[in-house]
Amino acid sequence: MSIYDISVKTIKGEQQTLAPYKGDVMLIVNTATGCGFAPQFKGLQKLHDEYADQGFSVLGFPCAQFANQEKGDDSEIAQACELNFGVSFPLYSRIDVKGKEAHPLFKHLTDEARGVLGTKSIKWNFTKFLVDREGRVVKRFAPTDEPAKIESFIREQLS
């Protein structure tokens, strides 16, 4: 199965696949508005704004699996992202990113790009996956990797 065939639910509750992003570069991130890394939303938005016209999108997937740092329903999450961090990149419904109930998208991402010491499991919020124009996961970034540090990898995929 291709990454483009995986069904996801938008933050507004609409079911879709990632097919609209076919041919684009994506940075897929598990997010949490209550996390200490939440200021990264601004950097992620900056990347999205800077490269959107070249076929790049940041996709945010809220998750409450790490110290329950994503509270509220999807509408409250969307509002917090917009009001507190100026987020306008696509957000999706809150999901699990690890364990038995992990969403198929994150199972795919972690199968394709392992973390430190070859681990598959996501350890914290703001783990980032860079996906190329063919839908291949080309790099995984740790929660501590600031969006600005990722920019050169994005430019490389866009060229």
Q: Could you name the CATH architecture of 3-158?
A: 3-Layer(aba) Sandwich (3.40)
Which is catalytic among the residues 35, 38, 87, 154? 35
At 23-56, the pLDDT tens digits run 999 999 999 998 999 999 999 999 999 999 999 9
The per-residue b/e assignment along 83-98, b for 16 or more CB within 10 angstroms, e otherwise, is: eebebebbbbbbbbbb
What is the dihedral sign for C-alpha 71, 10, 56, 129? positive
Q: How far is CA 49 from the centre of its chain?
A: 15
Specify whether 35 is catalytic.
Answer: yes
Strands 25-31, 128-131: pairing is antiparallel
pLDDT at 7 over 90: yes
What is the pLDDT, as a whole number, of residue 113?
Answer: 84
Domain extents in the chain: 3-158
**What pLDDT, in 10s, does the model give residues 91-149?**
999 999 999 999 999 999 999 887 766 777 899 999 999 999 999 999 999 999 999 99
